[in-house]
Amino acid sequence: MRAGSPRLLREINDRAAIDALLRNGPLTRSELENLIGLSKPATAQLLTRLELDDVVRRDGLRGGGRGPRAQLWAVNGALAHVAAIDLTPDSVDIAIADISGTTLTEHHAPMPRGGDVLTAFTEAVGKALAEAHLNLSDLHHVVVGSPGAVDPATGQLGFAPHLPGWEGFDLPGRLTELLGTTVTVENDVNLVAVEEMIAGRARDVRDFVLIWPVDATGAAVVINRVLLRGATGGAGEIDWMRVPDLAEQDTGAGRQGDRYGELLSSVAVTRLAKAHGISARNALGAVTRALASGAAGREFLADLARRIASGVAGVVSVVDPELVLLSGEVAQAGGSVLCELVASELRRLVIPRTPVELALVGGQAVRAGALHSALAVVREQVFGLPTEDMLPPATRSSS
């Protein structure tokens, strides 16, 4: 063997053990041995070495009954901490976690509409850290999920006029200065797609498109399990496309072309529902009532599906994905009925017969995707574990 190979082999085995512990949680020595394929003595030596380096710690015992209880081992979560943040025009939703993935605290705070949003943002992060008994200096990486897209050349946020105060400067760079650690700003729908690849319906899918169809309309395009971001970061910003209104019921929308996001705004969807005799305060209420309204409800949902498909068709024609996923609370409310109607309309508009299904990950999907992304970055930095290509790239440093 060449010089240095025993050390290289130890590093490979150490990374394999750390990865197994991160993926599976606390393990006994024998469980770890089976997962990484080392002998009993080699696994024991590995655990001793990692414990001396404070990389792993003893984490209780497993078993009982007549036999001896086995020692459990876990990664030392205190080695690094991350923040995952879902930024909206009205609020921030923050999770602070350690490198093992354990969430230490969750913090929700309102955001001002314009004005000094950066100060409010920094204060919210500080309060979240205080709840976790941490300081800004304890943060190793932050991922922020935001509407719009960051231009990789300038760091400026675009496609987000509904986020006043956040545009016109290097956003990741400014946040890096304020928080004292590296920051990635990623499109919110992209992070939902990341979470679908990790824990949702796209775990075994190579190429797919995820659509957030109503209110803050957007899309994420994944090719060979890599997010497509585009030259200016604007891939998937279908909100700004001009499309004809294909709904059969006339609501005064532009038949020759209107902004896709405007056709699918909550106001526009509610107006469409009213034209079908369904009264609701917002799009979510309209879809929920439509499902219980018989023929009139079905006709409204079919018209809504025509609007959704009018924008999705262009993406499907170019990308020819394996799957289209509908995400967001309105899509969840429409369920399989809405998916089937959108799929039927797509078959009328384009050649690919792409299945349309409901995204599996709901709730705080943006924040969950941000957390997985932040953990991937710090685990590469601390342990040398490879970052999946699907995750956001290493962050811009402040200039």
On whether both 232 and 330 belong to a single domain, the answer is: yes
The pLDDT of residue 398: 35
Question: How confident is the model over 310-345, as pLDDT tens digits?
Answer: 999 999 999 999 999 999 999 999 999 999 999 999
Is residue 329 a part of any domain in this protein?
yes
pLDDT tens string for the chain (399 positions)?
A: 344 578 888 999 999 999 999 999 999 999 999 999 999 999 999 999 999 999 999 999 987 666 678 999 999 999 999 999 999 999 999 999 999 999 999 999 999 987 899 999 999 999 999 999 999 999 999 999 999 999 999 999 998 888 999 999 999 999 999 999 999 999 999 999 999 999 999 999 999 999 999 888 999 999 999 999 999 999 999 998 999 888 888 887 766 778 999 999 999 999 999 999 999 999 999 999 999 998 989 999 999 999 999 999 999 999 999 999 999 999 999 999 999 999 999 999 999 999 999 999 988 999 999 999 999 999 999 999 987 644 444 343 333
Is residue 397 a part of any domain in this protein?
no
Is residue 198 a part of any domain in this protein?
no
Taking the C-alpha atoms of residue 273 and residue 263, their distance in angstroms, rounded to an integer, is 12
On whether both 233 and 255 belong to a single domain, the answer is: yes
On whether both 214 and 127 belong to a single domain, the answer is: no
Is residue 390 a part of any domain in this protein?
no
On whether both 318 and 251 belong to a single domain, the answer is: yes
Q: Of 29, 49, 75, which closes a domain?
A: 75
CATH of the domain at 67: 1.10.10.10
Is residue 394 a part of any domain in this protein?
no
Is residue 396 a part of any domain in this protein?
no
Is residue 391 a part of any domain in this protein?
no
The pLDDT of residue 6: 82
The pLDDT of residue 67: 64
Total count of domains within the chain:
3
Cβ atoms 283, 327 nearer than 8 A: no
On whether both 141 and 71 belong to a single domain, the answer is: no
CATH of the domain at 138: 3.30.420.40
On whether both 31 and 114 belong to a single domain, the answer is: no
On whether both 33 and 159 belong to a single domain, the answer is: no
On whether both 209 and 161 belong to a single domain, the answer is: no
Q: Of 75, 91, 109, which closes a domain?
A: 75
Q: Of 38, 57, 75, which closes a domain?
A: 75
On whether both 153 and 236 belong to a single domain, the answer is: no
On whether both 118 and 144 belong to a single domain, the answer is: yes
On whether both 342 and 260 belong to a single domain, the answer is: yes
Is residue 101 a part of any domain in this protein?
yes
Domain that holds residue 111: 79-192+365-383
On whether both 342 and 210 belong to a single domain, the answer is: yes
